[in-house]
Structures are given as C-alpha cells and as structure tokens.
Amino acid sequence: MQKQVVRREIVADDNLPNSLHPIIKQIYACRGVVSADELELKVSQLNAVDSLKGIGKACQLLHQAFVDEINICIVGDFDADGATSTALMMEALTSLGHKNHQFIVPNRFEYGYGLTPEIVDIAEKQGAQLIVTVDNGISCLAGVARAKELGLQVIVTDHHLPGKKLPIADAIVNPNQPDCSFISKALAGVGVAFYLMLALRKHLREQQWFEQHGFKEPNLAQLLDLVALGTVADVVPLDANNRILVAQGLKRIRAGHTRPGIQALIEIAGKNQSRMVASDFGYALGPRINAAGRLDDMSFGINCLLATDLMTARAMAVELDDLNKARREIEQGMQQEAEKVLKQLNVTQDNLDNAIVLYQYDWHQGVIGIVAGRLKEKFHRPSIVFAGGSLDGDNHTDDSAAVNCAEIKGSARSIPGLHIRDLLEHIDSQHPGIIIKFGGHAMAAGLSISADKFETFQTLFLKYAGEWIAEEDLQGKLLSDGRLQVSDINLVFAEQLREAGPWGQNFIEPLFDDEFTLIQQRIVGERHLKMVLQKEQQVFDAIAFNVDTSVWPTHQATKVHVAYRLDVNEFRGKQSVQLLVEQLALV
C-alpha cells in the first residue's frame, strides 16, 4: 500500500555540536539525541555491567563450574541472534579457561523454540551439569522445571519479555525481568550474553583465576563483531547502548579484525568489508545465517561463526548462501499463495480487517515469520501466519482428524501502535486453553495452538486487534526528514550520512522526499526500477526495489514524488551518489 509521507517537525538541536552538518544535527535531534556524549559511541559509555539483575549470581555459578570442571551446555535459539549468542558463549568460555562445554540448538521442526523438557533430556544424556540458555529461557517454565528435577543447574540469559511467572532457574539475567535496574531494555540476546561474559571476566579477575592458571585474561572486545551482527539482525531498537555495541563491532570488522566466519559471509554477500554499514548485517549476513535455522540446522550457522580458518569458513558460507537462495524461493511461493488466499476471500486494501491471520498446513514453518513480515509491510496490518498440523515428518497426511488435533506454529509481526505480545497475553488470560504457548516482543512474536482451535483464535485475534488498534495506526506512514537542496545531493554528504550511523530500528536511517522529473526508467533484474531523475537541471541515478511491474515502468509519468535515502553506489571501483527509493508515486 502507498504510505503517507509525513515530514518530521523541526526540533531544538542547540545542545548538539555546531561542528555537525546542520542537516545531520537536526536528524540526530529528531531521533532523541540530546547531548554530544550520546554521539561518542565509546566502550566506556556502555551501561554498567553490575546493574543487570542476577548477573552476580550467574557469575558465581559459572566460576564454580570452572573450578569443578563440570560440563556446561549452552542452549541457543535458531535465529541469527541465537546463533551469535551461542558462538559468543562458546568462544568466551574457552578464552576464559573453561574446557568442558558444548552447545545445543533445538531443531525448530522437531522440538520448537527454547529450553523444552525434551531438550533438557538430550542435554542431560550428553553430560550437561549446568545449562545456560541464550536468547531464550524466560518463558521456558516446563524446561527449567525438568532440569531441576534432574538435578541440573540452570542460568537463563534472555531478552524477551517475561510472563506472569518466571522460571525456577538458579540465576536469571534479563534486562526486562522485574526489578532490573539496567537502563537499556533493548539488549538483544547476544548483548545479554556479552554482558555476562564481561561480568564473568571481572569476577574471575577478582578471584585471581588468571594468575592462578598462568594465562593472560582475554580481550573480549574481539567478540564485538558477533554482538553487532546479532543485535542488528534481531531488529532490536538501536538505543544509545546498542549503538555503541554495533558501532564498535563495525569498527573492528572494517579494520579487518573479524573472525573467518563473518569474513566469509561478507565475501559471499559481495560486500566491501572496509565499508560495512549496520544494514549489511540485517540484509546480507543475517539472512544467510538465519537460513540454516529456517531450512536445516542452525548448528551449521554457528559452526561457520566458530570456524578457525578462512578456507573452512568459505566452504560453509557457500552452503549457507545456497540455503538462503532456497529460502527466498520458498518464501516467494508462500507469499504468492498467501496473497491468493486473500484474493479468494475477496480481501482488498479497501475492505481489509484490522489484522491478517492465515493458516495452511503445508507451508514451511521456517519461513512463516518472513511471510508474515511481508504481508505486514504490503497491507500495513499486524499479520500472523501459521503452518504445520501434520503428524508425520513430511508435513502431509490424508488423516484430517490427526491434522486437526496436532499443534500448529504461528509467527506474528506487528505495526507501530499494537504490542503483539501483550495482545497474545490478553487472549491467553481471557480465553485460557486457546494458546498452548507464546512469547516475543512488541513487534514480533511466536505462538503455538492446536489446529482445531485455529478458527477460534482467528476470530479472537481479529476482534481484539480491532479494539486495540487506533484507526490512525492503520494508515501507513513514512517519516521524512524533509526536502534536500539539490546542492546537498552529492557524494560528500552521502558519505557523511553513512558515517553518522549506525542506523537501525528506532534510530531510522534518514529519509528525504521531493518531486522530480522522471527522465529515464527501466526494469533491471526481475522487479527493480532503475531511473534517472532530474531536479533544477541536475540529474541523479535512482533505483526502487521490488516495484509493482503492472504499474512500472509507465510512459504516463513525467513528474514523480519520491521518498528516498541517499546511498553511495560502488561500481567497478568508482563511487557515486544514488537515490534508494522507498516509495514512488505519480504527481
């Protein structure tokens, strides 16, 4: 749907340095930056480690595990945040002097999300004595209870919102748990894991661990490339603390100080390592790691990140790239099917409900989240896509009764104005027994229900979404930083914007809008519109990705209104300014 372009109001920016370009100064102010200190992005500016509730107890448990040389099992999640968290913990524990640790990542198709009782049983059989969850655990009540039944210790590290009950873990480290004074509530799972390892190093130093064992304490800054990748890929808000973590990780990567796995992923994605930006994590590296967990086994993605030599890492990156290509094909097919379902239901932009809830048993469970996101973007409605329901491993059966009683998995994506996890919790509290389990954030969540409860859930979700969403929230908006003077649309200013980041969720990359004369237009690739635009006798290259080819190109267009981002295009060693078109409309 075409979104309304709304220009941001001018705000006071007197507290920011005059050395900044005036446009960048205003851009920062509009994003809530109130002092020059917030622009330093130094490690020394990070929130204090000790302010994370539970981190002291977790360090004591880990220290004792080091002393007793007991087996530590890291239980991760099957997305990029979970993969980077797991790799970070594995590498950090080794560098801190522990020699007996392993990791398990549940297969999403067999076990589902998080520390389930089944995963605990597997860990125990593999010799685990202490389980540490990363990027999961806060909602895994049954799994933690099972671990305690077996006499295992459990440390939960997570960043997801807790429910009314907390797991009976030996220690919980989560900035969003009750009574945690940690300022930044936006840490990704990998950020929580990093903070735990910083605290553990400090604790071990105080216990003279490194002196006693005759080795130098490690420089944990070498883990910041993983932290940056997982933070951006998980689309958490880039508050001041997260911007520091991402900026420091980018700095190391650009300088060539990154692990072979990330270097190989950068190469296979065709990116220039010395000029990496935050969005490259989200659009290039993250999807390739995620593809392992979506279609196969996330252990493969983790092992790529843990690879110790570039040749091995490159071979694994090629396989991850192939998986990502397969993922895109599956996703495109599912998206077309989803839109076909809406068309069959006679759903158009004009008669849409306030939400979209779809289910098909043979859709691929690993891709439903992406499809939900695509539907959300296209129709600007909170969207939930369900898959599964078959009791056999091939996701098909002729026994409809068996299908109906099986558990189906859903992935939800929301729009600003609707906290999706809170809505699921409301449904669960008002109608117990409909939802088997759920968890997530304001903008994304996952859940499981019984297939025979789908229509009931669909009705309830549409009902409550209609009550919770304000009418104005259904009108998609693009916030613009205004009109650029033609003299500012140049390579120098584009570079300044590039370096003014990192940009990301809740610290949005600058967007501008204006009217241009359309000089040239042609389709490149399958659905990308390459253009030449003119303003005040100046011409500019522009590109709009994934356009509606039934509309574009059009020879009726002479004037267009464009919402765009300034980009530095690199081709055959030459750089030029390019307009990345977010939205295009005839004037």
Kindly report, residue by residue over 352-372, the tens digit of the pLDDT: 889 999 999 999 999 999 999
d(CA 561, CA 575): 25
Same domain, 278 and 410: no
Residue 399 confidence class, pLDDT cut points 50, 70, 90: very low
The verdict on residue 282 lying in a domain is yes
Same domain, 453 and 557: no
| pLDDT, mean of residues 444-454 | 94
- The percent helix, strand, coil of the chain (3-state, each to 5) is 45, 20, 35
| Chain-centroid distance, C-alpha 380 | 19
**pLDDT per position as a tens digit, 174-217:** 999 999 999 999 999 999 999 999 999 999 999 999 999 999 99
pLDDT of residue 396: 40
Sorted by sequence, the CB contacts under 8 Å of residue 454 that are 6+ apart come out as 359, 386, 408
Q: Is the confidence at residue 108, as pLDDT, over 90?
A: no
Same domain, 503 and 468: no
d(CA 475, CA 372): 18
Same domain, 463 and 498: no
- Strand-pair category, 538-544 with 559-571: unpaired
**pLDDT per position as a tens digit, 428-437:** 999 999 999 8
Whole-structure pTM value: 0.91
Same domain, 285 and 392: no
Same domain, 471 and 482: no
pLDDT of residue 441: 83
pLDDT of residue 571: 81
Contact between 274 and 252 (Cβ < 8 Å): no
pLDDT of residue 90: 98
- Number of domains observed in the structure of the chain: 3
The verdict on residue 499 lying in a domain is yes
Distances (CA, A) of 15 to 12, 29, 34: 8, 9, 6
Q: Where are the alpha helices (DSSP H) in 389-453?
A: 400-405, 420-430
Among positive and negative, which fits the CA dihedral 259, 264, 270, 272? positive
Query: For the purposes of burial, counting CB atoms within 10 Å of the CB of 210, is it exposed (0-12), middle (13-18) or buried (19 or more)?
Result: middle
Q: Is the confidence at residue 349, as pLDDT, over 80?
A: no
Q: Is the confidence at residue 44, as pLDDT, over 90?
A: yes
| pLDDT, mean of residues 168-173 | 98
Distances (CA, A) of 141 to 116, 163, 472: 8, 10, 38
- Assess whether the previous peptide bond of 553 is cis (omega < 30° from 0): yes
Q: Is the confidence at residue 69, as pLDDT, over 60?
A: yes
Same domain, 236 and 277: yes
Distances (CA, A) of 365 to 110, 187, 368, 370: 11, 27, 6, 10
Range of the domain at 440: 345-475
d(CA 409, CA 109): 10
Same domain, 73 and 198: yes
The verdict on residue 121 lying in a domain is yes
Same domain, 171 and 302: yes
- Strand-pair category, 72-75 with 4-7: unpaired
Name residue 169's amino acid. A
Same domain, 443 and 497: no
pLDDT greater at residue 1 or residue 125:
125
Same domain, 528 and 382: no
Same domain, 395 and 482: no
pLDDT greater at residue 108 or residue 26:
26
pLDDT of residue 405: 64
Q: Is the confidence at residue 404, as pLDDT, over 80?
A: no
d(CA 314, CA 262): 9
Q: What is the mean pLDDT of the chain?
A: 93
Of the candidates 475, 510, 526, which is a domain's last residue?
475
How would you label 9-32 residue by residue, b for 16+ Cβ within 10 Å and e otherwise?
eeeebeebeeebeebbbbbbbbbe
Residue 350 confidence class, pLDDT cut points 50, 70, 90: confident
